[in-house]
Amino acid sequence: MKLDKIELTLLKLPYVHFFETSFGREIERTFIIVKVTAQGLDGYGEVVASQNPFYSYETTSTAWLMLKDYLIPFVKQQGIVEPTDFAIKAGRFKGHPMAKAGLELALWDLLGKREGLPLKAVYGGVRRRIDAGVSVGIQDDIPQLLNRIQSFLEQGYLRIKIKIKPGWDESVCREIRKQFPRILLQADANGAYGLNDTDELKRLEEFKLLMLEQPFPAYDLWDHSRLQKEMETDICLDESITSEVTARTAMEMKSCRIVNIKVGRVGGVVEARRIHDICMEKGVPVWCGGMLESGIGRAHNLHIASLKNFVFPNDLSASERYYAEDIVEPAFSLDSRGTIAVPDGPGIGVDPVKERIQRAKVHSETIAF
């Protein structure tokens, strides 16, 4: 079998509510959808790179360039169709994991559709429903944050994650714990602290956080290890975990006790599964992070999160928590148990809606094979 064409589309979708982290506030998401076509079947992937290089160095522009000038011509020239084959061969291009993952995911969706299997079955996933957590950004003030948390708890989310930064941490956690003493609460700093802030971070211990996510910058594995030695709260790494090797290194250095897996950050499902497996081997639990994906990326994340070692609630929330109208049908919703069902249809198991993609489209380009 051969691919007939690949289509890249840049989209812009407004959030229902702004999303603010230690690196800034955003009101809409700009992202790329990759569509691969073969024998009348379409496979869809999402590139999770943002418009600006704040979470990682990749942006929608760098990912577009990598896909158009390198990855797609390479796939065309080599006749690649199988996602595993792509993952291995694309290793010759350094870096740019989000661009690679977008294309690999599209090939996985196509493979699932060719075989008539949902991706969770292709991956050997063991869950039918995924525990849903919600990531709540920094708000204008603490009462606004408490209101949002209250509303998400009423909707049934199993765990609340807040974003923290110096000055929006201890007092915020204190007010949350006053109102919600027993909820599963975790905090994500997106690397906003340094070793000199150790005392400030240790003051968060009294709030019994489920975990403290990425307190220091991505490259600071050693400093994370020093912090973890001094803290009872489990540290979870997100930005630092870019491959199986960094995951193993972080575990051997005791830089964290929990790992956040994001398929885009690590360059695809092949690498994400390697990380999942080595963490399981070493007794380190994982969970699935998110990048405020559209329904296409969300569907992919749900299938990946069906693997056995995804044991904590995930950053996988209902479509309506992010967007007024998702670009897939059916949209994802939370059930009464606070879980989201993994779709059972072939591939990602949900249908991208062409008219909605068209409406959110900034531009697109088709590369014929």
- 191 binding partner (options ligand OSB, Mg ion, none; Cβ < 5 to 8 Å by kind): none
> CA 227, CA 129: separation in Å to the nearest integer?
34
Residue nearest to ligand OSB (CB): 290
Dump strand ranges (E) for 78-172.
Answer: 129-131, 133-136, 159-163
- 38 binding partner (options ligand OSB, Mg ion, none; Cβ < 5 to 8 Å by kind): none
- Where in 202-241 is the site for ligand OSB (CB under 6 A)? 238
Choosing from 131, 238, 293, 326, the residue that interacts with Mg ion (CB under 5 A) is: 238
Q: How far is the CB of 274 from ligand OSB (least distance, A)?
A: 21
> CA 245, CA 229: separation in Å to the nearest integer?
22
212-213: strand order across its sheet: 133-136, 159-163, 185-188, 212-213, 235-237, 258-261, 286-288
Choosing from 118, 125, 215, 289, the residue that interacts with ligand OSB (CB under 6 A) is: 289
Q: Which long-range contacts (CB under 8 A, 24 or more apart) does 24-31 make?
A: 24/52, 24/54, 25/137, 25/138, 26/50, 29/292, 29/294, 29/322, 30/60, 30/362, 31/60, 31/293, 31/294, 31/297
Tokens 């291009």 belong to residue: 93
Q: Which of 35, 120, 161, 262 is catalytic?
A: 262
Q: Give yes or no for residue 223 binding Mg ion (CB under 5 A).
A: no
Q: Which of 35, 120, 163, 165 is catalytic?
A: 163
Which structure tokens are listed for 318? 């209902």
Q: What are phi and psi of 58, to 5 degrees?
A: -75, 150
Choosing from 60, 317, 319, 339, the residue that interacts with ligand OSB (CB under 6 A) is: 317
Q: How far is the CB of 292 from ligand OSB (least distance, A)?
A: 4
- 292 binding partner (options Mg ion, ligand OSB, none; Cβ < 5 to 8 Å by kind): ligand OSB
Radius of gyration of the chain (CA): 20
Q: How far is the CB of 188 from ligand OSB (least distance, A)?
A: 5
Nearer to ligand OSB (CB atom), residue 244 or residue 315: 315
Size of the site for ligand OSB (CB under 6 A): 11
Nearer to Mg ion (CB atom), residue 131 or residue 188: 188
Binding range to Mg ion, per CB under 5 A, among 20-28, 151-159, 210-218, 321-329: 210-218
Helix, strand, coil shares of the chain as percentages rounded to 5?
A: 40, 25, 35
Q: Give yes or no for residue 291 binding ligand OSB (CB under 6 A).
A: yes
Sign of CA dihedral 61, 105, 280, 204: positive
- Asked whether the beta carbons of 268 and 85 are under 8 A apart, the reply is no
DSSP structure class, residue 305: T
- Is 308 marked active-site? no
Sign of CA dihedral 157, 170, 322, 304: negative
Q: Give yes or no for residue 190 binding ligand OSB (CB under 6 A).
A: yes
- Is 229 marked active-site? no
Binding range to ligand OSB, per CB under 6 A, among 191-199, 223-231, 246-254, 285-293: 285-293
Size of the site for Mg ion (CB under 5 A): 3
Q: Which residues bind Mg ion (CB under 5 A)?
A: 188, 213, 238
Where along the sequence are the contacts to ligand OSB (CB under 6 A)? 55, 135, 188, 190, 238, 289-292, 315, 317
Q: List, by residue number, the catalytic residues.
A: 163, 262
